Chain A
Amino acid sequence: MEASRRLAPYAVALLLLIDAALLYLVDVRGPFPAQVMLGTPTAYRNLYIHVPIAIAGYATFTVALIFALLYLVRGEARYERTAHAAIVVGVIYGAATLVTGSIWAHESWGSAWNWDPRETGIFFMWIAYLVYFVLRSSIKDPDVAPRISMSYAVAAYSTIPLSFALPYVMESLHPVISETKAFVGGGLPAVLFPVRMLIVNVIAILMIFMVRDRVTGAGTRVLRAGSAALLFIGLLLVGLYVATLMGARGGLQLTPGATAKFVGTVSEARLLEGTNESATLLLKVYTDGRAVEVRYTGEPPVKPVTFVYRDKETGTAEVRTSLVSHVVLVEGVVGENGIVEAERLEVLNYWGVPVNILMYALFVASAVYLATRPASRAA
């Protein structure tokens, strides 16, 4: 028991390092649906960030329920301390779920907050667990406070199946499991999604016991180093994103021979010839309220360059080009016909992907702080 307590910070630090590498992979190579209904497809890289955090929140509250019930049945203080730590970690992951979800929804749903049933359910769950802290601190009698607050923690758990079930019983912008399963069922998503899900959840569960026991000695430094590595990746990715945007500053004048450098959204894309290795594409790119024609020959910035879209309802299938809806950086020369002959065509990530990675790193850092804070400041 003592050995596992000592090893936990090292295990979490290692997992945080692996997670930092995975999040870098998510940001630069994370697969997204070849076509989306709203916004840029790269926003769907948040699937690997937001969903594991949300599930980790559910998992930590489930641990809280188990230990709260154990306390109510057996009355041992260690169970109450574990349940309390699980609620502390759960509230952190709950807040992370709300923040990362809103940033993703801003792009893919059209609004950051819109009282979607599950959004409302998660918010209600989070508030219910925040009330736990108010209740616990408001009862002055140390013999009564644990029993009442643990009873409340058991009742608060009812908000979890509710928030999970809401998209199944009400109209919701949230997909249900069977819908996302089709996407994460094959290729790289079939590896990346479950691996991140596992790592985020193991980190969250181990964090509960570290918050409960508080890490001391060398474990503190190792755990903080792991958290710092995650923060570094978050800051690096946000920095790279800002640098790319700064570098995209140029101009667009559709006079023959002029150089063009601009950022826009691909509204139409046609594969003239080629394959995934090299292709000639004719694009219509929306920028500053006008559509600009762009021709590009080279390695396609999104692969596969085309895909077969099968409509579930009608059963029809058609070949579509996967660059549509992407935000791209175009650099080239305006031809005689007004078409921009692009030498560079780069897909830009949705800003919410690196920002959400940084947000996750900050929330993990706050849990690490609670696990490693000096004894005098412990609750």
Chain B
Amino acid sequence: MAAIMVGIGYMAASMGGYKDVSDLARLKEPALVTVKGVIADYRADPDKDSVVFLLQGEDGSTITAEFSYQRFVNMHGRAPGPWILGQEIVVKGVFYPERQGNMLGYMDISEMLKGCHESYQAPPATS
């Protein structure tokens, strides 16, 4: 029974785990996915409430991923700028495959996530 529980738990966690942008190459139909990638470029348009990221996977393949500009500002406390370049992020949303060379397709981001691993590198401060 213990082995079955570990098996089910591992499978459940695996299904919820994060794939790399490059793993999206296997998708042929639109799908809800959660992937991690590095921000290689971005284009922000506050008037259209849009920020489009160029996310790069481990093998160099890329996707464009669009998020709400206002939500980005609310979450990060500042507008997207060069400071986001090179950052690894995890995004959840519907991916629409449309392969053109290294470009795998477009993603409509519903949630933008970030782990807290790097935060613990900073020293303690207090208010």
Contact = CB atoms under 8 A, between A and B. Distances in A.
Interface stretch (A205-213, A297-305, A361-369): A297-305
Contacts of B114: 37-38, 108-110, 173
Contacts, number: 183
B8 interface: yes
Q: Is chain A's interface secondary structure helix, strand, loop, or mixed overall?
A: mixed
Contacts of A31: 124-126
B102 to A, nearest CB: 22
Residue of A154, A289, A291 with most chain B CB atoms under a 10 A cut-off: A289
A188 interface: yes
Contacts of A30: 126
B125 to A, nearest CB: 4
Given A110-B113, A162-B6, A171-B18, A42 B127 contact: yes
Given A114-B111, A303-B126, A307-B125, A37 B118 contact: yes
A293 interface: no
A175 B116 contact: yes
Interface in B1-22: 1-3, 5-6, 8-10, 12-18
A171 B127 contact: no
B103 interface: no
A32 B9 contact: no
B48 interface: no
Interface in B33-92: 34, 36, 46, 70, 73, 75-79, 87, 90, 92
A180 B13 contact: no
A22 to B, nearest CB: 15
B117 interface: yes
B100 interface: no
B39 to A, nearest CB: 13
Interface string A235-265: 0000000000000000000000000000001
A10 interface: no
A157 B119 contact: no
B17 A173 contact: no
A163 to B, nearest CB: 7
A111 B111 contact: yes
A322 interface: yes
A175 B117 contact: yes
Interface string A135-154: 00000000000000001101
Given A155-B5, A162-B6, A312-B121, A121 B13 contact: yes
Residue of B87, B117, B120 with most chain A CB atoms under a 10 A cut-off: B120
Interface of A: 28-42, 44, 108-111, 114-121, 124-125, 128, 151-152, 154-159, 162-163, 166, 170-175, 179-180, 182-183, 186-189, 265-268, 284, 286, 289, 291, 301-304, 307-312, 322, 325-327, 347, 349
22 contacts: A33-B119, A36-B119, A37-B115, A38-B114, A39-B75, A111-B92, A111-B111, A116-B16, A117-B17, A118-B13, A124-B13, A128-B5, A155-B5, A158-B6, A159-B5, A163-B9, A266-B77, A268-B78, A289-B70, A309-B122, A310-B121, A327-B77
